[in-house]
Structure 1
Amino acid sequence: MKQDYTIPAQTRIGHVHLKVSSIERALAFYCDLLGFELTTTYGDQAAFISAGGYHHHIGLNTWFSKNAPPSKRDGVGLFHTAIVYPTRRDLAMIYDRLRKANYPLTGASDHGVSEALYLNDPDNNGVELYWDRPKERWTYHADGTIVMFTNPLDLTDLLTALD
């Protein structure tokens, strides 16, 4: 299929809306652990959370999933929600918080253009926490495509960003 339309460069993903089994458990993870702010609720069936006072970056609901089992790793659905932090220091701060809470990571990667931490929320939804290196530090192949890879992230070095 020939592409005759290119999405505008200013387009962004506005929010993600997740089905969860328990609003309380989800809020404990996203607000109490990761630090999102609760902006509003719809009774005990939905909650909306944000960073910095936006109306919502993440919606959480139990409309079709109250008390449901965690999502299956090998099933169809969302692979992960990616949450971008403004600086490497901010990523180091959330890593330190997760480490001190003994919250398990499922991975930690250096992708060349970014550094990322991977974990699962209480409903087994994948979550990526990352920061983008400045675009001027990215490297490119001869054909103009971006060089990306997956190498282990040096978590000890990440913590030096706290200094």
Structure 2
Amino acid sequence: MSELPFAATTPISVARVGLKARNADALAAYYRTVVGLDELNRDGETITLGAANRPLLLLENDPAARPDAPRSAGLFHTAFLLPSRADLGRWINHAVEHRIAIEGASDHLVSEAVYLTDPEGNGIEIYVDRPRESWSWNGSQVAMSTERMDIPAVVGSVPAGDAGWQGAPENTVVGHVHLRVGDPRQAEAWWHDSFGFDTVARYGAQAVFLSSGGYHHHIGANAWQSAGADHRDPGRSGLAWVEMRSATAKQETATQDPWGTVIRTVPGQPG
């Protein structure tokens, strides 16, 4: 069995993401067939998806919701972290076989990632981390970049005669969530004050990356499309909430970032 990724072993980590869906049934089918999540539960208008009984994504059905506005505050992408490089290679083979459209494939030095968008416009990253000991740090700042992924090398990490992609494997987690915000500096201050996160990287004034426990980032916040955005419109589809797991939390709580994005906290030990 693969090990739990480092991202989930820190004092605070991402537990689950909630999306408001205009058609939860269709969206659930996408996450099952494309991302490989299992449907774990249905409760009224809510569908829970995950991997090996670990809930990762909740879809809240709201047919009356208006489509998400890409220039508003909200979700840039949910990043599903696979346990091994071979798992990412298996997923790429799956995408080729089923002609799944991807929008990018990048080497970020700390990780290798593919990008796609679900039918309701929610961004998705499927990625694998490079070994933590290979990450390059300059003091408190980790070296990250966006280079072309060596796809043949990733696919080549799949053992010969392998059974191939069988869906999201055990110990798949939401490694990070990347948010659209109106002002990354304001987001940075909020995550410092509200969660004690460390800033680990900045891309000029347009993006900031923050984490707990020395991970390369649990939260990204950018204004590439959303500079100056005001509060989210609760009547739109897209991000409903992000849930963080905290080893020091005593009870479940919920707060909102400066743009009205709901951030939940639940008690729980790493993993």
Provide the secondary structure at the position in 2 that maps to 1:123: coil
Q: Distance in 1 between matches of 2:22 and 2:112?
A: 30
Per the alignment, residue 124 of structure 2 pairs with 127
Q: Distance in 2 between matches of 1:124 and 1:81?
A: 12
Matched, 1:150 2:151: no
Alpha-carbon offset, residue 161 of structure 1: 1.4
Q: Equivalent of 1:102, from 99, 103, 118?
A: 99
Q: Equivalent of 1:78, from 75, 80, 91?
A: 75
Q: Distance in 2 between matches of 1:159 and 1:70?
A: 36
Provide the secondary structure at the position in 2 that maps to 1:119: strand
Tell me: higher relative CO, structure 1 or 2? Use CA pairs within 8 A at least 6 residues apart: 2
The two structures have a TM-score, normalised by structure 2, of 0.52
Provide the secondary structure at the position in 2 that maps to 1:124: coil
Per the alignment, residue 115 of structure 1 pairs with 112
Structure 1 residues 114 and 33, CA gap change in structure 2 (3 angstroms): same
Per the alignment, residue 50 of structure 2 pairs with 50
Q: Distance in 1 between matches of 2:67 and 2:112?
A: 27
What is the 5 A alignment of 1:13-92? Answer: 13-43=14-44, 45-54=45-54, 56-63=55-62, 66=63, 68=65, 70-92=67-89
8 Å contact kept, 1:22–1:67: no
Provide the secondary structure at the position in 1 that maps to 2:74: coil
Alpha-carbon offset, residue 98 of structure 1: 1.6
The two structures have a TM-score, normalised by structure 1, of 0.84
Alpha-carbon offset, residue 69 of structure 1: 5.8
Q: Distance in 2 between matches of 1:105 and 1:72?
A: 21
Deviations 1:100-159 (A, max 9, x none): 221111111101000000000111100000011111111122x34211111111222221
Provide the secondary structure at the position in 2 that maps to 1:12: strand
Structure 1 residues 68 and 99, CA gap change in structure 2 (3 angstroms): farther
Structure 1 residues 33 and 134, CA gap change in structure 2 (3 angstroms): same
Alpha-carbon offset, residue 34 of structure 1: 1.8
Q: Percent identical across equivalent pairs? A: 30
Structure 1 residues 19 and 133, CA gap change in structure 2 (3 angstroms): same
Alpha-carbon offset, residue 33 of structure 1: 2.3
Per the alignment, residue 93 of structure 1 pairs with 90
Q: Distance in 1 between matches of 2:91 and 2:79?
A: 14
C-alpha RMSD of matched pairs (Å): 1.8
Structure whose residues are more often strand by fraction: 2
8 Å contact kept, 2:34–2:100: no
Flag as ranges the 4+ runs of structure 1 deviating above 3 A.
67-70
Q: Distance in 2 between matches of 1:75 and 1:99?
A: 33
Quick one: which amino acid aligns to residue 77 of structure 1? G
